[in-house]
Amino acid sequence: MRTILQTNRFERYTAPFLFLLPMIAGLFVFRLGPVVWSFILSFQKYNPFQGGTWIGLENYRELLQDKDFIQVFKNTVFFTLMYMPLGVVSSLFLSLLVNNKLKGITFFRAVYFLPVISAVAAIGTVWAWLLNPLYGLVNFSLKSVFGIIGPEWLGSPKTALFTLVLVNVWHTMGYTMVIFLAGLQNIPQELMEAAYVDGAGKIKSFFRIVLPLLSPTTFFVVVITTIRSFQVFDLIYIMTAPAAGEGGTVGGPANSTNVLVTSIFLNAFKYYRMGFGASQAYILFLIVALITAVNFRFQKRWVYYS
Amino acid sequence: MSASGTRAGRITRRSLHYAVLIIIAMTILIPFLWMASTSLKGSGVMTEVPPRWIPEKFLWGNYPEVLFEHKFLRFAINSIYISLTAAVGQLFTCSLAGFAFARLRFPGRNLFFSLLLATMMIPMQVMIIPEFLIMLKLGWVDHILSLPLIIPSWLAGAFGTFMLRQFFLTIPEDLEAAARIDGCNIFGIYWRIFLPLAGPALATLFIFTTMTAWNDLLRPILYLSSQQRWTLTIGLANFTRQYDVNENLKMAGSLITLTPLVVLYIFTQKYFVRGITLSGLKG
């Protein structure tokens, strides 16, 4: 690594730490310290106003038996299993659609990226209105165009979680599109031309050439979308409580949209069961670490790196 | 030659391509347009069937009502204060640390850098409960200057440090040597050579931090209890939870929350895209 010639003792031993002081202080106080403290909390019964008592593995034992938490865990897995493939496929499709030099293509790219920068508070609010079962634009259009009576969307425990999956796909697909686009633009043009010369059609060359060459990007996208879907919070916070009416809690109706992070939030900051919340946060930590580890292990087998 | 290779075939395919592009653009834009349309309607026509795209009467008065009576102007000022303060501070601390990691040799450099990278991989939900307890102990919950939303952003910008370090690694050595001959010490080299050269990287970080702070929801929920300190996101979240507020006003509030960032996005698109894609590295 290139380094500046540090000419005297001060520049060698003191100055670097002056540069780093704010960052290192923050790193310990706001990041590393809390990671350790959170681990300790997960073995405690802790209320911010009464303090904590050591209860060993009790929080974790409760997690395994608690019906609500089992529901939360199922919801989270369902969300991920639905969101990951939908998000990956739709954004791959978008990236293929805009990977060209057609007139106005930069405009379309900019539009597709727009939901990514938009505050979830605002887009959650407008989608809740669009999906209003009685007066929303979506159900009105379904009825007038297709003659279908639309579902209750957020209003029913059967459809609420899947509704959130769809809105989340809409919100994030521009982001993954940009990552796929960068991957596509790394594919050498000659390879595509060679495939055409060999008589491979568009679809054939997509599966034989583009997809294998894109596999490192796809791998990255799969890891990142999976991790993010385990962490979804804002959208659920915005969209589920108002639908339940006054006094309705986040994660409704009937706990059907309560996922890992909303459950951490509710336990820690609404019921002040901070130890219990911390133990759920550590479950999340474990899952995220596992996904990263498993994927990195298997990536060697099915990912093509040139 | 096959039919698809003819001129007519090419034109058909191109039109089809545009048709798909436009349909998808509509699914993206319709929610925003519906938001604008609803925000200008009267509360009496929320339930009208069929719904109208162009309001019969444009009720511009919905906006002053939301801004003043429902205090969205106050929330907007708070959002501006918090996101700009967080972003400017982060430029300083991250560039200082990024410079040291990229260009200086010192004991423990690799250790500290690994710790920094490790914190980027850890989900923030793991740290949020103790962070809240720290803020509580510092007496910063509902702080008059909203410090809990600003100080961690100044002091723990791991992503920004990483990004600027990568940028500083690319600056050629000759520049430093020249500055040395002119009698600069290392602070001078940082301030006069590296910082000015980092313009685009700093702009990317600035935009990214502003956006993150502007759109943040969880920390305002935790740390801002008094209404006069709410940001737009928490203000809007609580607004939508009121029973007696109609959709037209909720949409006006949503549009107010969105507009400043969307305008910024229109003018500085490439920095938005770059910052958000780079931040994907942090998982």
pLDDT at B180: 79
Contact A283, A261 (CB under 8 A): no
Locate B197 and state its tokens.
């050269």
Res. B283 pLDDT band, cuts 50 70 90: very low
Least confident of A206-220, B55-69, B81-95: A206-220
For the stretch A43-86, pLDDT in tens is 999 998 888 899 999 999 999 999 999 999 999 999 999 999 99
Whether A113 sits inside 8 A of B272 (CB atoms) is yes
pLDDT at B282: 45
pLDDT at B1: 41
Whether A144 sits inside 8 A of B50 (CB atoms) is yes
Share of chain B above pLDDT 90, in %: 69
From chain B, the residues in CB contact with A278 under 8 A are 129-130
Contact A49, A266 (CB under 8 A): no
pLDDT at B279: 79
| Greater pLDDT, A245 or A95 | A95
pLDDT at A252: 80
Boundaries of every domain in chain A: 66-302
Average predicted confidence (pLDDT) for chain A = 89
Mutate to test the interface with B, among A3, A8, A20 (most CBs of B within 10 A): A20
Mean pLDDT confidence for A103-116:
95
pLDDT at A143: 93
Contact A160, A254 (CB under 8 A): no
Mean pLDDT confidence for A268-291:
94
Phi (first) and psi of residue A301, to 5 degrees: -75, -40
In terms of Cβ atoms closer than 10 Å to its own Cβ (0-12, 13-18, 19+), residue B117 is: middle
Q: What's the gap between Cα B3 and its chain centre?
A: 49
For the stretch B108-163, pLDDT in tens is 999 999 999 888 889 999 999 999 999 999 999 999 999 999 999 999 889 999 99
For the stretch A129-188, pLDDT in tens is 999 998 899 999 999 999 999 999 999 999 999 999 999 999 999 999 999 998 998 888
**Taking CA atoms, what residue in A is nearest to B47?**
A135
Neighbours of B171 (CB within 10 A): 17
Q: Is B120 on the interface with A (CB under 8 A)?
A: no
From chain A, the residues in CB contact with B24 under 8 A are 94, 97, 108, 112
For the stretch A247-273, pLDDT in tens is 567 888 889 999 999 999 999 999 999
Q: Is A197 on the interface with B (CB under 8 A)?
A: no
Contact B276, B209 (CB under 8 A): no
Mean pLDDT confidence for B242-249:
88
| Greater pLDDT, B182 or B82 | B82
B8-29 in b/e form (b: 16+ CB < 10 A) is eeeeeeeeeeeeebeebbeebe
Share of chain A above pLDDT 70, in %: 93
Residue A7 one-letter amino acid: T
Whether B96 sits inside 8 A of A111 (CB atoms) is no
Task: Tell me, letter by letter, the H, E, C secondary structure of A142-176.
Answer: HHHHHCCCCCCHHHCCCCHHHHHHHHHHHHHHHHH
Interface pTM, i.e. ipTM = 0.93
B160 vs chain A: nearest CA distance in angstroms? Answer: 11
Whether B215 sits inside 8 A of A121 (CB atoms) is yes
Tell me which residue in A121, A140, A281 faces B257 most closely, judged by beta carbons. A121
For the stretch B204-216, pLDDT in tens is 999 999 999 999 9
Residue A127 has pLDDT above 60, yes or no: yes
Res. B100 pLDDT band, cuts 50 70 90: very high
From chain A, the residues in CB contact with B33 under 8 A are none
Mean pLDDT confidence for B38-48:
88
Res. A225 pLDDT band, cuts 50 70 90: very high
Neighbours of A273 (CB within 10 A): 19
Annotate A35-92 with DSSP letters as a single string. Answer: HHHHHHHTTEEEETTTEEEE-TTHHHHHHHH-HHHHHHHHHHHHHHHHHHHHHHHHHH
At which residue do the structure tokens 């639905």 appear?
A82
Q: Where are the alpha helices (DSSP H) in chain B?
A: 7-39, 62-64, 72-103, 109-121, 124-138, 151-155, 158-169, 173-181, 186-188, 195-197, 199-215, 218-223, 232-240, 247-279
Least confident of B30-44, B93-107, B170-184: B170-184
Residue A305 has pLDDT above 60, yes or no: no
Mean pLDDT confidence for A191-217:
81
Average predicted confidence (pLDDT) for chain B = 91
From residue A25, alpha-carbon distances to B82, B105, B113, B152 in Å are 21, 19, 14, 10
Res. A302 pLDDT band, cuts 50 70 90: low
Res. A2 pLDDT band, cuts 50 70 90: low
Residue A150 one-letter amino acid: G
In sequence order, the β-bridge partners of residue A54 are A44
Query: What's the topology of domain A66-302?
Result: MetI-like fold (1.10.3720)
At which residue do the structure tokens 């994907």 appear?
B280
- Residue B199, SS3? helix
Res. A281 pLDDT band, cuts 50 70 90: very high
| Greater pLDDT, B213 or B52 | B213
Whether A129 sits inside 8 A of B152 (CB atoms) is no
Share of chain A above pLDDT 90, in %: 68
Whether B127 sits inside 8 A of A12 (CB atoms) is no
Residue B57 one-letter amino acid: K
Q: Is A295 on the interface with B (CB under 8 A)?
A: no
Whether B236 sits inside 8 A of A125 (CB atoms) is yes
A119 vs chain B: nearest CA distance in angstroms? Answer: 5
Residue B3 has pLDDT above 60, yes or no: no
Question: What's the pTM value of the predicted model, to 2 decimals?
Answer: 0.93
A positions 143-162 inside 8 Å of B (CB):
144
Q: Which of B42-51, B100-109, B128-137 has the highest mean pLDDT?
A: B128-137
Q: Is A296 on the interface with B (CB under 8 A)?
A: no
